[in-house]
Amino acid sequence: MVFQSYALYPHLTVAENIALPLAMRRLNVLQRLPMAGLLAPGVRRVRREIRATVAETADALGLAVFLERKPAVLSDGQKQRVALGRALVRDPELFLLDEPLSNLDARLRVRMRSELVALHKRTGKALVYVTHDQAEAMAMADQIVVMIGGKIAQAGRPRDLYERPASRDVATFISANSINFFGPDNLPVGLPSGHPGAAGGVFFAIRPEHLLPGDDG
């Protein structure tokens, strides 16, 4: 799980924050004590393996030079990468990301989007990514689930949602620019008899990029 607020432990270094899930999984309470390695050789071996995994993960995320620093001296982007590293180090089957980029500035958000897509391709693991930014979803996702009012309004590939929205709400949401709606009252249309919309209630939606000025202006 990667949280919107990063949820890093301020008293731990970057290395310790990333290592925490492995230490909790592989060492018991006594083995996690600072001097435990002096009494139990097996603990030293496990700690070496954890350090090696942390170093590999940090290197992949560009955090190798920050391992001994505390979160307070890191930028927002670096903190977000530490939070990602803490999730990545567990080698999970599934990543859950709750608006992980909402605290970043626009330029850094674009860069982190690319890093997350690259992480997905590199690990082959599924990422479930919650966002209110439809542009972010369209840029990153293989599949999008649009939630409106706590219910699934439509699910599918980004292009399908954009070109074949299932409702006016989805058409409005999946749109960088306002979509144009025309209904029976302001757009005379003839529909074949027997068509479900022949009695009214049909809306036509046209995206701005599909409109061109006429030759007469």
What confidence tens digit (pLDDT) does each residue in 106-155 have? 887 888 888 888 888 888 889 999 998 888 899 899 999 999 999 999 99
Give the tens place of pLDDT for each residue, 66-111. Answer: 999 999 999 888 998 899 889 888 888 899 999 888 877 788 788 8
- What is the distance between the alpha carbons of residues 5 and 101, in angstroms, rounded to a whole number? 9
Which string of b and e fits 45-79 if b means at least 16 CB within 10 Å?
A: ebbeebeebbbebbebbebeebbeebbeebeebbb
Query: Tell me, what's the pLDDT at 4?
Result: 83
Q: Tell me the average pLDDT across 1-10.
A: 89
Q: Tell me the average pLDDT across 182-203.
A: 68
**Per-range mean pLDDT, top range of 55-59, 70-74, 80-84, 197-201:** 70-74
Q: Tell me the average pLDDT across 17-35.
A: 84
Q: Tell me the average pLDDT across 49-53.
A: 91
Hunting for tokens 């399908």 — which residue is that?
A: 160
Query: Tell me, what's the pLDDT at 38?
Result: 61
Residues 6 or more apart whose Cβ sits within 8 Å of residue 130? 97, 98, 99
CA distances to 7, 100, 112, 173 from 108, in Å: 19, 12, 6, 24
- What is the distance between the alpha carbons of residues 140 and 158, in angstroms, rounded to a whole number? 9
> May I ask the CATH class of domain 1-141?
alpha beta
Query: Tell me, what's the pLDDT at 36?
Result: 65
Question: What is this structure's pTM?
Answer: 0.73
